[in-house]
Chain A
């Protein structure tokens, strides 16, 4: 099975990914030491501050140079380094199957890249997919085996059903109670649930990175005339006559929809990236993704 398992990414690209790591912006989520600097003082190699010596402090951290010059005991403080939980939350509703290439394929590759970065940096990586509800969750883990688990998870994803992000987010937060960085990969075509789902996750203190994946065709309709619109997730149909005015108004509405999501994320300090499937995956991961505060070189 291992021989047939897709790694989603080219080996050369994987090497480039090793230079990236995920950044934790918040307080420590885990008691275990890891690679991520914490706001807590710890015992990493990275100097953080000084403070007066107090009884019981480890004398190994007394700055003897200061004692020699000033005759006072000052203790050197170092930043604590903790491990980070990375949750990959993929939208597998029917709408993610649309596009050229399908958006789900793009999402899988981005998820693979992020999972690989996390695991390479000794982070714990877990995740789940969702459509109308949460499905195929895989538990947090790290190490080489977790990479295989991740690839298995991604390979087994298939798109079907309607999107209900709110319900899915609620199920996710109850299933993965440990704080961490949640990377949401979705087209967010869930007018009723995207806001509720994001608020659910923000409310649970997750650090959020929303990667909004769209197909180029979704951004602008090129057809005109009498058109029967068929919703890919529901059986609803609508016959309309497409003209330039209507297309223009649709694009404006689409921009308004995206702006609403972006504004929400900005207000909640949620990293938000929007991409289309035509953007090369390497460009997105190596360039665009670095714009997010959750990722740094």
Chain B
């Protein structure tokens, strides 16, 4: 632009403050910045960011998923667990990039199923493998457990995926901002068996009672059938009407030997079929295999005759070879006054002797020890009284770590319990003949306690059953270290018995379990039997604003995917930077500038080849504002120009101006061209019209160059 007052412009520019200069620089490159910003927006959009919460960065998410039995109840689509899996999948899908998620399963005990991770693939795999158990869940404990992972003052949150049908649900602070419940609901009609037992009548040997406890959890009375199957045979079936929210106990008399298995089944199809079936197993307890090693003891012999279900073997010498070959042959070994080698594993009663390798040393003898009346509390001393016990002489024992002194005379231990791995031992530091213990009531009690300690008695005679989720104690024979357990659905697992009894915790399926040890095999049943779990009505209502009801679509924190917005912004910015008239009505577009320059080069080349008479410095540009670019009718000769456009190169120092050009079948018609200036050699106005020069300010008149 020509000016007569450049000195005034220079004065203005000199006086421009720094802040304005920066703003000037910004404005000068505004369109370039818009283009860069547009590219940045596109890149960010490709990363698929999403906004979970406006105005605040989200923290880690700890998902507590209810794996209790009630999740097997029917939901709106499939089971409630199916709904929970879908919700979990949605949570994972909307997990913002960089944000982590931890998953805690609320089964019989809270369990971390996945540590904090941002790996969506891993979380999705986990979601597919999630299964509800047949056991009551500890959801409240799991929520409290999850809260222990929340950073104080952070944005972490706990999301609970549950049907709300768990004990203590109403006590949780659902109003807290860090806690959210996604409620998975379904229908709530349920009637279930809450108890199933065989009882032997106390005064009759072969007579039993079969007791079935049924409860109706619905708000209306339900009439159903109850079928009892003993073994493989249907034994009884009767109709039963249970009033709303009430229980009925049905007792059937049974005479004869109990069957190996019993199943009670309700004939009503409700929304929670799991508790409509109950299982029971029967098995006579295996006899206690006892080995007495010693010179013989009439007091013990007499005692063994009176103890039920005991099978006694006798030896005078320590059967080292036998025990080495068959370590699980005996349940209890009594060593009476003999010298012993080192003991490995098993249950032992050592009378007036100590084996090598035990944390107990013999330091001589003591005479007429006076036993202190106070006994240490222990399963071996339950109901035991040893006041004024007479002992002629005893071993002077010195206990080390691991020795539990049950009774002492002064500082000298007389009764000691030892427990180390799979070794259990009761040590009597005196000879039974040198004491009046065999004449006391304490004598059979002490040995009965010892046998029970070595192999605890069954919880309920004769049935073998536990509640789902409760560990079942499998008594392993000494020497047996592998136990194979087969679950109701056929899955088998082999366990290493590191202790006796072996506690089997995975009782998460209702039904019959079979186990097999080295010298023993058996069955046990697992039932739900939980009124709390069978109450499948949610304890919390979705009126709570922090509770999101499944299917309503009213999620409190719906994640917002940002890529469409970013893409739109990028397109708008791109259009803005492309439309110079939008930003600068009379201004200059850097993008247009670059386009002008490149097109000028190609125009120059075309002109040189096609129009030898033209000024080689001339350049043309079809102005984009004409709207004709890219919309040439067929037959029009625009190919060379477009090809050249792709190969256009930068030509430093070249400067041209935009103008109006129209391609047609006759060639390139040039309308207005006007110079903007540039390098000195090209500052003159340029034009086409066969190489002629147009007027100073345009209006060159239409000319044509044959391309």
Contacts and interface: CB of A to CB of B under 8 A. Distances in A.
A238 B6 contact: yes
A250 B14 CA distance: 11
A98 B2 contact: yes
B1 A228 contact: yes
Interface stretch (A1-9, A150-158, A217-225): A217-225
Interface stretch (B86-94, B203-211, B283-291, B583-591): B583-591
Given A228-B677, A243-B24, A249-B16, A187 B4 contact: yes
Interface in A176-224: 187, 189, 191, 215, 218, 222-224
A249 B12 contact: yes
14 contacts: A189-B7, A224-B584, A225-B584, A225-B587, A228-B676, A228-B678, A229-B6, A230-B1, A230-B3, A234-B6, A238-B9, A241-B27, A243-B27, A257-B8
A233 B12 contact: no
Contact of A189 (B5, B28, B586, B676): B5
B588 A229 contact: no
B339 interface: no
A249 B15 contact: yes
Q: Main SS of chain B's interface residues? A: helix
Interface in B1-52: 1-13, 15-16, 20, 23-24, 27-28
A10 interface: no
B24 A250 contact: no
8 smallest beta-carbon distances between A and B, as pairs: A225-B587, A241-B28, A225-B584, A231-B6, A226-B588, A95-B4, A225-B588, A223-B586
A232 B9 contact: no
Interface string B161-184: 000000000000000000000000
Given A241-B24, A241-B27, A223 B12 contact: no
Contact of A223 (B1, B7, B13): B1
Interface residues of B, number: 31
Contacts of A245: 20, 23
A250 B12 contact: yes
B1 A227 contact: yes
Given A231-B2, A249-B16, A250-B9, 18 more contacts: A95-B4, A98-B2, A98-B4, A189-B4, A191-B7, A222-B586, A224-B586, A225-B588, A226-B590, A228-B1, A230-B677, A231-B3, A233-B4, A238-B10, A245-B20, A253-B8, A253-B12, A257-B8
Interface residues of A, number: 33
Given A98-B2, A98-B4, A249-B15, A229 B9 contact: yes
A254 B8 contact: yes
Contacts of B13: 238, 240, 246
Interface in B667-683: 676-678
A236 interface: yes
Contacts of B4: 95, 98, 187, 189, 215, 218, 231-233
B256 to A, nearest CB: 106
Contacts of A223: 1, 586-587
Contacts of A242: 587
Chain A CB count within 10 A is highest, among B3, B20, B27, B588, for B3
A242 B586 CA distance: 10
Nearest to B683: A230
A232 B2 contact: yes
A254 B677 contact: no
Contact of B8 (A98, A222, A225, A250): A250
A236 B8 CA distance: 13
A188 to B, nearest CB: 10
